[in-house]
Every structure is written in C-alpha cells, then in structure tokens.
Amino acid sequence: MTIAIKIGFLDDDPVVDENGGFAGRGAGGAIAGRLFTIFPEAVLVGPQDRQVGAITMRTLQHLDPRRDLIINLDVLDSIGLFQRLHRGGAEPRILNIQWLPPSHFHHKVNFAAMGLSFALFPTLCSGERTAGEVSEIVRRWTIPPLAHQARIGWFHPGIRDDLLRPHTDPDVPVVLYPAIHLVDSKKPKIFLKVVRDVASRMPLKMEARLAQRDLASVMAMKMSNPRWAKVSPLFGEKEEYWESLSHATAFLATAHEEAYGMEYLEALLAGAVGIFPHQPWAAHLVPAFYPYLYATEDQAADMLQEVLSDPAAARKAVDDSAGGSLKDWILANHTRAEGNEALRAQIADWFPEVG
C-alpha cells in the first residue's frame, strides 16, 4: 500500500517549493508536512511524476485505486477524486483531512459538497471545534441514511519548538498581522483600523507576510500604505520565519473563527504577546485567565497600546495567567507528539492495513 497525500485543489499556489517544503501554505501545508513525518514513505499527489527535494510526487494515474490510501486535504474535491479513480470499477480508499473550519466557506454549493464528502468518506478534523462544525454540516446538508454512516474524528495538531530563537524587543515595537491571507473571515479591515488607531498614539511598526495571491489584492495595498507598515511575501525558509517572530512585540488577532490557530501559538511561543477577540476559539488557545481578550475594537486598541508600551510587563502578565510560564503551558497543552500519535492512531483505526 502507498499513502498518497493530496493538497492544492482550491488555490493556484505551488504545492511545494523547490526544496520540497510546505512553508508557503499555512496550516494546510503544516499538516501535510506532519503527515510526511508520520508516514515518511508517503507520496504527494501532483501534476507529474517527479522528485522535489525529499518529496516524491505521483500523478493519480500512477496510483493503485484498489490498494493505495489517498489522504485528501481538499475535501470539496473528494467526490470528484472518487469518480476519477472509480472509472475502472475500483473502490478507492479516501480519507478527508478537514483543517479549515467549514464556516470558511459561504456558498450553499460548497456546504452541500462538504456535507456529501464528510458523509461518504472518513473525516479527520484539526481540532474538536472543527469536528463539531463538520458534524453539523453533515446533519444539515445530507439525507439521514448518509448522515448516519459518517465517520468523524479529530486531533490537536500541537506545536514544535525546536526552531525557536531567543526573543529580543526592538527599539520600535512591531505588531504582526498573524495570518497569510486577507480573506474576510480573518477581518483584516478591523486589524488595520485598530493598528491605525494605536499608531496615531505611539510609534510602531506593522509587519505582514502574505501568500502570493493576497499580495496583489486591494486590501494588501491598503495595508501597505502607512509609512509604518511593511507587507512582504512569505519567507522561503522556516528558520527565517522563526527569526522574524523572535523580534515581534505583539500580534493582533481579529478572526471570527479558526480551526486551530497554529500561527498564533507559534507567535506566542516565540515571545510575541497576543491580543485576541473574546471568542471560544481564542479561549481554547490560551490559559483561562489570559489578560488580553477584547470584546470591542476600542478595547483591542487599548490593549495593544498597553502591550507595546511595556512589553516586559505584558509578558509577565501572560506568564502569570499560565501559572509561571506561557511557553511551558503551551507546550504542555498543545503537544506535537501527542497530536502526531492521535492522527496516526485514528488513521490506523479506520484503515487497519496502514498499521
């Protein structure tokens, strides 16, 4: 049996870079990279058979639909994937990985397609909240005989700390835009409004690293207009990414919903102080008495100013909320090894031949 990992259906960004890395694809790329760690002999579904760094790429035509397992991170395409592989009469083995919250999508066609995909193929979700949304999509958008057969599981992805750099605060505090996309669900307009407000009160710098298709957007141009703002492409190497995080003072999260929040955890681990909306997804990421959860945009601006004015005091406050060390709390509550094991165990439960 070959395990084939499929990613890249819904956007035009390259699946992997020339070194075989997924750094430019956000959480989806991170999960794909994790799958290759767990299953080092896996191959990547791609447009041609080739070797890219350590990644072996195979076309669908060169997979065996009777034996191979396809782990699909593009669940909207699972029905079409089944149809392409079923032409010869085989019953393809397909596993969905749902790493985005379904609420990321808006059109009824997408919800209907997701509901059918979730009902027909085992679905492993990045986080318990996403699994809850997936179950609701199945209930609302599929007929009962299909909904009753749905197999839905979840895992916490966890986080790595082996690339951490010592944190240093710059002379002029730096605020991160903590995402690589400018989609409405991330609420970049609110982010820019709040940062503009604080920039009118004190010196600051804002940095954003965006995916290629977002760099050319109108919102990216608006975000880069202020003299204190810097909008750039994504880093090519993970080491560059972690080096940049080590100099960030704070980040402002404005998303209404998140599947897990890997980017936020990485920034917190690197020493940036996070200002979060008072939402259930954010409360899951931080200790119960975390001091920087805002209910209004005015509160967000005041909190951001407070953090940038005295980052050492802000860092002590978040450490105190964690009982001594936010870093230790994150590593204890978002363990990468446990996430890997949960992911591997669930796949083996649904597909015992994987072992």
Question: 99: domain CATH number?
Answer: 3.40.50
In a domain, 318, yes or no: yes
From the centroid of its chain, how far is CA 8? 14
pTM for the structure as a whole: 0.71
Q: Could you tell me if 189 and 250 lie in one domain?
A: yes
In a domain, 163, yes or no: no
pLDDT in tens, 151-179: 999 887 777 777 889 999 999 999 999 99
Q: How far, CA to CA in Å, does 36 sit from each of 11, 117, 155, 246?
A: 21, 23, 16, 27
Note the helical H segments in 286-335. Answer: 297-309, 311-321, 326-333
pLDDT at res. 151: 96
Q: Could you tell me if 144 and 246 lie in one domain?
A: no
d(CA 229, CA 208) in angstroms, rounded, equals 8
In a domain, 165, yes or no: no
In a domain, 15, yes or no: yes
How deeply is 235 buried, as exposed, middle or buried, from its count of CB atoms within 10 A (0-12, 13-18, 19+)? middle
- pLDDT tier at 117, thresholds 50, 70, 90: very high
- pLDDT tier at 104, thresholds 50, 70, 90: confident
pLDDT at res. 12: 53
Q: Could you tell me if 341 and 208 lie in one domain?
A: no
CATH number at residue 293: 3.40.50.2000
pLDDT in tens, 187-213: 999 999 999 999 999 999 999 999 888
Edge-first strand order for the sheet with 250-252 is: 229-233, 205-210, 174-176, 250-252, 273-277, 293-294
- pLDDT tier at 14, thresholds 50, 70, 90: low
Residue corresponding to tokens 């059109």: 107
Bridge partners of 202, per DSSP, are none
| Range with the largest mean pLDDT of 105-114, 320-329, 337-346 | 320-329
In a domain, 168, yes or no: no
| Average pLDDT rounded to a whole number, residues 34-44 | 90
In a domain, 164, yes or no: no
The structure tokens listed for 350 are 């649904």
Q: Could you tell me if 135 and 195 lie in one domain?
A: no
pLDDT at res. 8: 66
In a domain, 169, yes or no: no
Lowest mean pLDDT among 13-27, 66-80, 114-128, 331-345: 13-27
Residue corresponding to tokens 């066609």: 109
Q: Could you tell me if 264 and 311 lie in one domain?
A: yes
pLDDT at res. 13: 56
Q: How far, CA to CA in Å, does 9 sit from each of 14, 46, 115?
A: 11, 10, 18
Spatial contact of 52 and 16, defined as CB atoms under 8 Å apart: yes
d(CA 335, CA 116) in angstroms, rounded, equals 32
Q: Could you tell me if 134 and 220 lie in one domain?
A: no
Q: Could you tell me if 323 and 200 lie in one domain?
A: yes
Q: Could you tell me if 324 and 195 lie in one domain?
A: yes
Contacts of residue 47, Cβ cutoff 8 Å, sequence gap at least 6:
59
Q: Could you tell me if 15 and 94 lie in one domain?
A: yes
Bridge partners of 155, per DSSP, are 126
Number of domains in the chain: 2
Q: Could you tell me if 202 and 295 lie in one domain?
A: yes
Q: Could you tell me if 103 and 142 lie in one domain?
A: yes
Does 10 score more than 70 pLDDT?
no
Q: How far, CA to CA in Å, does 349 sit from each of 29, 142, 328, 346?
A: 24, 25, 31, 5
d(CA 118, CA 7) in angstroms, rounded, equals 17
270 lies in which domain range? 174-333
| Average pLDDT rounded to a whole number, residues 40-52 | 89
